[in-house]
Chains A and B, each alone.
Chain A
Amino acid sequence: MKFDSPATTNPIDRLKVVGKPIDRIDGKLKTTGTAPYAYERNDVAPNAAYGYILGASIAKGRITSLDVSAAKRAPGVIAVVTYQNAGKLAKAKAHTARLLAGPEVQHFDQAVAIVVAETFEQARDASRRIKVRYAATKGAYDLAVAIKTAQKPAPNPDAGADKPDTAVGDFAGAFAKASVQLDETYTTPDQCHAMMEPHATTAAWEGDKLTVWTSNQMIAWAVRDLTETLLIPKENVRVISPYIGGGFGSKLWIRADALAAILGARAAGRPVKVALARTQIFNNTTHRPATIQRIRIGCGPDGRIAAIGHESWSGDLPGGGPETAANQTRLLYAGENRMTAHRLAVLDLPEGNAMRAPGEAPGLMALEIAMDELAEKLKIDPVELRIRNDVQYDPEAGPKRPFSHRDLIGCLRTGAQRFGWDKRSATPGRVRDGRWLVGLGMAAAFRNNISMTSAARVGIDRKGVVTVATDMTDIGTGSYTVIAQTAAEMMGVDVEKVVVLLGDSSFPASSGSGGQWGGNSASSGVYAACVKLREALARKAGFDPATAVFDDGKIRSGNKSATLAELAGDAGLSAEDTIEFEGLDKAYAQSTFGAHFVEAGVDAQTGEIRVRRMGGAFAAGRILNPKSARSQVIGAMTMGVGAALMEEAVVDKRYGCFINHDMAGYEVPVHADIPHQDVVFLDEVDDKSSPLKAKGVGELGICGVGAAVANAVYNACGVRVREYPITLDKILAGWAKV
């Protein structure tokens, strides 16, 4: 099915199941510990041996010698695999660095060897008996230094970086003439996904056929990248990933755990499972790259933006890409004269790549502080400043490219009203609650809506049970549940009558989970397959497919009806289709919107920061399941608090690694850091986005929230911190200057 014109009324609009806050259908498995994750597949690989990875202890250079003899002699060891005996491997195009080092080492903790042993303890112990000698070469690890040689990156539309530079009107001239100018530089640090389940894979070979049970967000990409890496035909690879313990972008592509398990299994002649140790994840896998961002905004006293410029510098390994932190500035606010630019430096740190809302998350951390600073200069309320600069079309393209649906103003007003924004004092440091200085801050949320081709197969059996099969993944997003709701609505059955099978490359290829495209795209693929199945059932009943009504397990036409179970018969019926999005994303700017509000307390003596209240209003088209969608948003808000106040993968500039590479050193929010969160969705549908009229919501919540925290901290204590994370030492240093 092509989706190339706006959706009209369809069976989803009945909203008997879709749009209802039903409990997740996988909830009972997850809460009882019975959902099997990738390292727990005793059901399918009961005799799996244990693999353990040895990572490189230099960031850049070459392996000059490898002595695995002691490891091979160690108790329980079955095999040791390094580049010397791994066989021919290639780098998949999607990977910047290779998954197995040797002889060249491209980053710290790049996998050097895999030890396979009878037990985990033996494999871990033996990995430490491998003697590796390196010839280290000098690398670039400091972004602030490397930006001096930063280059304009090549356009990469697949990574949301279609244009590294944009320019409309005369930015420089208009900025110079503006009576009110803001010109500030902000920095965001390297950040890590830190999902709870480490990357893990169980791999088994049967002859040439490879089966991989892994924790992966994008099954079709995993097959593609394994095919490219192992130089084997696609039909010999099967990837299975029904439960994923969080991804946030870190599991978009297969990582070293998968290759290690696969090579280990080949060498050992039996299934092997490998999980990255938590301490390996930070340097072995990918991270969100640090940015340095300069923002210039010029306007008149009325606050209407005349010139807006956003430049962002980031670094990556050779062949990598930029963090597209300036991208949202192309679309969020009005202004006739505008420019954005990305520059990319070469850094020999681990591979930088997508983390939840790549681009927008760090970009809005900067832009939305800048807007707060501008509001203060103008003495205009920050909510009002954003309302004045709303724009209903793509400001680079002009009115010929309107937004499909944009209600940022509704989010701002609704959120402000619910939060009690009118009680804010515009002057910082005026509110005191015991030892706490208390402030309010806000920020706009913006994330583009991306649609991806997605296929599904839907069948019905003689008991009237509808089974959906697609390689879509559920990384905690609620895919199982919204897909079941979609199929139930389309086929006119209860959600309990729907079985959803996900995460298997033998099923039709879906959008996968990433870029907040999964929920809308994958359920649209299910919609398309259901339309075909409805047609098949109607034909079998002798009804007109266009007018037949599916309800209560039956198909009806006029006063005639038949049960779906009877029509399916013993053989059952099934249909498969693919949703393909064409044209509407070009004709219309498609984005999701929101407004964050935060109350922060700053200890008047110590500078300790606590988030006391959080709330927000969001607009993302039709909300398919308000319960799971709210969870996506509060979770993203929580991650945004981490980004604002604590998360920083600290670069050891001597050795080129992230030094705080565990969950004690890389701090993320815990229960005590997060108050109750008030989230409301605006009631809206977007007929240009998909047949479901929904948009993505999984990443919107992290967009802008960090700046809302920063602005609340400023409002509380009067110290403007432009270098994330905002920690008490920076507050104390700011007070010392006053």
Chain B
Amino acid sequence: MDEDFIPVSRRGILAGGVATATIATAPASAQDSPQDRPPPSATTRLKVNGRTMTLTVDTRTTLLDALREHAHLTGAKKGCDHGQCGACTVLVAGRRINSCLTLAAMHDGDEITTIEGLGRPDDLHPLQAAFVAHDSYQCGYCTPGQICSAAGMLAELKAGVPSHVSADLDDPRATADEVRERMSGNICRCGAYSNIIEAISEVGGIKA
């Protein structure tokens, strides 16, 4: 099996003791209260952007923090940590997810695509290129989430998944209003919405 094994970090050891079992807790000393014991950690195998990685992290670690702080894939952003802004959007098995609202330990064996997996500066994904051409961003902090969300959203539209604004639930039309509705979980405070819709529409073949 092709895999990149990320060694257990020093943090992992300090946090979770020996990282051999799926759930491991270090033995507590006699004086410690239960609260003072190191929290349990979990070993999770993720396939991120086509590469398998094994992470042993605190069970409280979100998928977002596993990606950002442990795998050092900082493309997914932490805007709110509460599923309210969408900056952390990644694709799990091709579907969009707020990676701050799900724990890394819940994704053992999952295939995850982050913005880094969609394209690189020298090899942009069509959505990334369209965002550049239409100036669909300003500060850039929501941008990876917008692009991952757009990729997932276009696939949902193609698969016939309806939305709140679909006139026909069995046959949703690819319109700009559908895109606006479906992208509304991704906040852009710089207010690039008008340009984001143009970029997505161009890539999705939607009349803006």
One of A125, A198, A663 near B187 (C-beta < 8 A): A663
A631-648 vs B, CB cutoff 8 Å, 1 = contact: the mask equals 110111111000000000
One of B35, B78, B184, B189 near A195 (C-beta < 8 A): B189
Stretch at the interface among B91-99, B166-174, B190-198: B190-198
Q: What is the CB-to-nearest-CB distance from A671 to chain B, in angstroms, rounded to a whole number?
A: 4
The answer to whether B132 and A23 touch across the interface, beta carbons within 8 angstroms, is yes
Please tell me if A11 contacts chain B, counting CB pairs below 8 Å.
no
Chain A: which residue is nearest B148 at the CB level?
A33
Kindly state the separation between the CA atoms of A476 and B188 in the bound complex, as whole angstroms.
11
Chain B: which residue is nearest A75 at the CB level?
B38
Kindly state the separation between the CA atoms of A118 and B11 in the bound complex, as whole angstroms.
6
Please tell me if A546 contacts chain B, counting CB pairs below 8 Å.
no
Kindly state the separation between the CA atoms of A119 and B9 in the bound complex, as whole angstroms.
11
The answer to whether B58 and A121 touch across the interface, beta carbons within 8 angstroms, is yes
The answer to whether B128 and A129 touch across the interface, beta carbons within 8 angstroms, is no
User: Chain A residues with Cβ under 8 A from B128's Cβ?
Assistant: 28, 31-32
The answer to whether B191 and A75 touch across the interface, beta carbons within 8 angstroms, is no
Chain A: which residue is nearest B39 at the CB level?
A75
Please tell me if A37 contacts chain B, counting CB pairs below 8 Å.
yes
The answer to whether A671 and B184 touch across the interface, beta carbons within 8 angstroms, is yes
One of B69, B82, B119 near A120 (C-beta < 8 A): B69
B66-80 vs A, CB cutoff 8 Å, 1 = contact: the mask equals 001100111111111
Please tell me if A676 contacts chain B, counting CB pairs below 8 Å.
yes
The answer to whether A631 and B84 touch across the interface, beta carbons within 8 angstroms, is no
Contact size range, A? 35 or more
Q: What is the CB-to-nearest-CB distance from A453 to chain B, in angstroms, rounded to a whole number?
A: 25
Task: Please give the number of chain B residues whose Cβ is less than 8 angstroms from any Cβ of chain A in the complex.
Answer: 73
A598-619 vs B, CB cutoff 8 Å, 1 = contact: the mask equals 0000000000000000000000
The answer to whether B84 and A637 touch across the interface, beta carbons within 8 angstroms, is no
Chain A: which residue is nearest B37 at the CB level?
A75
User: Chain A residues with Cβ under 8 A from B43's Cβ?
Assistant: none
Please tell me if A256 contacts chain B, counting CB pairs below 8 Å.
no
One of B72, B140, B193 near A42 (C-beta < 8 A): B72
Q: What is the CB-to-nearest-CB distance from B8 to chain A, in angstroms, rounded to a whole number?
A: 13
Stretch at the interface among A274-282, A331-339, A549-557: A274-282
User: Chain B residues with Cβ under 8 A from A39's Cβ?
Assistant: 78
User: Chain A residues with Cβ under 8 A from B65's Cβ?
Assistant: 120-121
Q: Among the interface residues A477, A668, A670, which one has the most CB atoms of the partner chain B within 10 A?
A: A670
The answer to whether A76 and B74 touch across the interface, beta carbons within 8 angstroms, is no
Chain A: which residue is nearest B31 at the CB level?
A73
**Given A33-B144, A74-B36, A671-B181, A119 and B119 touching (CB < 8 A)?**
no
User: Chain A residues with Cβ under 8 A from B81's Cβ?
Assistant: 277-278
Kindly state the separation between the CA atoms of A631 and B188 in the bound complex, as whole angstroms.
12
The answer to whether B187 and A670 touch across the interface, beta carbons within 8 angstroms, is yes
A458-487 vs B, CB cutoff 8 Å, 1 = contact: the mask equals 000000000000000001111000000000
Please tell me if A106 contacts chain B, counting CB pairs below 8 Å.
no
Residues of B within 8 A of A (CB): 10-11, 14-15, 32, 35-39, 58, 60-61, 65, 68-69, 72-82, 84-85, 87, 114-116, 118-121, 124, 128-129, 131-133, 135, 137-144, 147, 176, 179-181, 183-197, 208
The 15 sampled A-B contact pairs (Cβ below 8 Å) are A23-B132, A23-B133, A30-B143, A118-B11, A118-B15, A121-B60, A122-B58, A196-B85, A196-B87, A246-B189, A476-B140, A477-B138, A635-B138, A669-B191, A675-B194
Besides A33-B143, A198-B78, A638-B191, 16 other A-B contacts (C-beta < 8 A) = A31-B124, A42-B72, A196-B188, A245-B77, A278-B81, A627-B135, A635-B138, A662-B84, A663-B80, A663-B85, A663-B187, A664-B82, A671-B181, A671-B184, A676-B208, A677-B194
